[in-house]
């Protein structure tokens, strides 16, 4: 989840190797069991985003309810459409900050259920990770109200959260009694880039059908999920959704492509349709991509994860590339995007645009960023210590806390933490 999202590092007991082997390698597993996927919101833009060629499903945020205020996300419909054009099984989730109010739960359902664009039978998950009331029974009743409405509308209800928040605020066993294997739970060992789960922090509860194992599935940030039960097949069976096209074109005869895996090609500006029949967005035409699979006179393009006919792509010129226009900077522990921008006499927005960063918080240690050509300015930094605040740091450096926060591209309501580096001069 990416909107109003609180990411948590959760440590629990290690998962037995036998359990891991069962969920990953059981030869009788459902077709989707063990599949990887992502969940997206407004931060992934109108086309959405996938991390790897192995991804088979996506769960897009339709909007949410926050303290009684209902809002939609205008990226939802196009993310669903684009994901399905890429051959992914697309599902839906709702930010569900209803506390213990069944009234607000029904308000959210009345607004969102008619707007769901994923197939009947597909997942509609309720993201309940904030805003709980002090009454566990009321919270659980509100969640069950929403899940019952989802089921009655013909979709598969799921509950999303993390283990500590759930144990503190929700009777999850009541949820499982009525909706077995309906939990979608998050637990991250760290914020390093992870393309596969680290099972040592698996949130050991009954009924978990999807495990969200990282918020840094790729550099720049993206939630990574794994289907443990095959639940992401719901809504995409042969009988319930015959219109969904496969992610790989059907090949009656294998014919070699004239392009090779690893080669960079450009989508022709005259190209109009992917090999699977969907329209190619204008933003794709004229752009270059690396081939990650090829065959049968068509290639799978990395980044957009779509198959395209050989006739619609061309080789990229091998002429020497011009020298980079920008210097680079390697992100260090405690760095912020606003701090780096300040160091290089540029703006946070400029760095976001140069590096295609959707969210200013999505940088990671070791990541190499393009920065301004200007020579870095000399600044004085302060490393935050335990117990310090905006006020105490600002006071010791002869400024107001508002000036300090502004100098670092933040507000006084932004949380600071030990080890973080702040510009003080």
Joined together, the tokens standing for residue 366 give: 């070791």
Q: Is 127 among the catalytic positions?
A: yes
Q: Identify any residues that bridge with 231 across adjacent strands, giving them in sequence order.
A: none
Of 220, 206, 184, 174, residue with least CA distance to 92 = 184
Residues 6+ apart with CB under 8 A from 215: 7, 188, 191, 221, 222, 223, 224
Q: What is the biggest distance separating any 2 CA atoms in the chain, rounded to whole angstroms?
A: 74
Alpha carbons 400 and 390: distance in angstroms, whole number: 9
Angle, vertex CA 51, rays to CA 354 and CA 19, nearest 5:
145
Considering the candidates 39, 55, 227, 335, report the single residue annotated as catalytic: 39
Alpha carbons 127 and 59: distance in angstroms, whole number: 11
Rg value, the chain, Cα:
23
Of 161, 62, 184, 177, residue with least CA distance to 111 = 62
Considering the candidates 127, 223, 225, 335, report the single residue annotated as catalytic: 127
Of 256, 420, 399, 412, residue with least CA distance to 332 = 420
Considering the candidates 35, 55, 129, 223, report the single residue annotated as catalytic: 129
Distance of CA 315 to CAs 261, 295, 397, Å?
13, 16, 57
Alpha carbons 157 and 141: distance in angstroms, whole number: 14
Q: Is 190 among the catalytic positions?
A: no
Half-sphere exposure of 271 (CA within 13 A, CB side): 26
Of 408, 406, 422, 419, residue with least CA distance to 338 = 408
Q: Is 39 among the catalytic positions?
A: yes
Angle, vertex CA 46, rays to CA 208 and CA 183, nearest 5:
10
Could you list the beta-strand ranges (E) of 109-155. Answer: 123-127
Using an 8 Å Cβ cutoff, are 212 and 190 in contact?
no
Alpha carbons 416 and 410: distance in angstroms, whole number: 10
Active site residues: 39, 127, 129
């Amino acid at each position: 989840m990416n909107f109003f999202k609180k990411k948590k590092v959760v440590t629990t007991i290690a998962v037995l190797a036998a359990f891991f082997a069962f969920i990953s390698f059981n030869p009788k597993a459902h077709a989707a069991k063990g599949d990887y996927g992502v969940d997206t919101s407004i931060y992934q833009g109108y086309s959405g985003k996938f991390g790897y060629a192995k991804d088979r499903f996506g769960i897009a945020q339709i909007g949410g309810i926050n303290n009684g205020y209902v809002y939609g996300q205008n990226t939802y419909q196009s993310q669903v459409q684009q994901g399905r054009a890429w051959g992914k099984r697309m599902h839906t989730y709702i930010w569900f900050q209803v506390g213990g109010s069944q009234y607000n739960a029904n308000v959210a359902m009345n607004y969102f259920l008619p707007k769901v664009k994923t197939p009947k039978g597909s997942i509609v998950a309720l993201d309940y990770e904030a805003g709980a009331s002090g009454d566990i029974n009321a919270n659980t009743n509100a969640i069950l109200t929403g899940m019952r409405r989802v089921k009655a509308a013909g979709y598969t209800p799921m509950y999303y959260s993390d283990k500590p928040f759930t144990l503190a605020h929700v009777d999850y066993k009541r949820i499982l009694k009525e909706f077995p294997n309906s939990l979608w739970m998050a637990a991250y060992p760290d914020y390093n880039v992870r393309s596969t789960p680290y099972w040592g922090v698996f949130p050991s509860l009954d009924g978990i059908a999807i495990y969200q194992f990282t918020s840094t599935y790729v550099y720049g940030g993206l939630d990574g999920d794994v289907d443990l039960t095959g639940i992401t097949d719901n809504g995409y069976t042969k009988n319930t959704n015959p219109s969904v096209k496969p992610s790989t074109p059907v090949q009656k005869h294998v014919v070699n492509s004239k392009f090779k895996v690893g080669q960079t090609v450009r989508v022709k500006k005259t190209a109009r349709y992917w090999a699977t029949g969907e329209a190619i967005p204008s933003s794709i035409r004229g752009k270059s991509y690396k081939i990650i699979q090829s065959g049968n006179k068509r290639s799978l393009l990395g980044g957009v994860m779509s198959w395209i006919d050989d006739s619609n792509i061309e080789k990229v010129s091998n002429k020497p590339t011009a020298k980079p226009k920008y210097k680079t900077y390697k992100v260090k522990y405690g760095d912020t995007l606003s701090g780096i921008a300040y160091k290089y006499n540029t703006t946070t927005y400029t760095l976001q645009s140069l590096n295609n960063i959707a969210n200013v918080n999505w940088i990671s240690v070791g990541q190499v960023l393009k920065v301004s050509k200007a020579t870095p300015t000399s600044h004085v930094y302060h490393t935050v210590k335990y117990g310090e605040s905006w006020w105490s740091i600002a006071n010791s450096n002869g400024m107001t806390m508002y000036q300090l926060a502004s100098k670092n591209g933040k507000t006084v309501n932004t949380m600071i933490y030990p080890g973080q580096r702040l510009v003080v001069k």
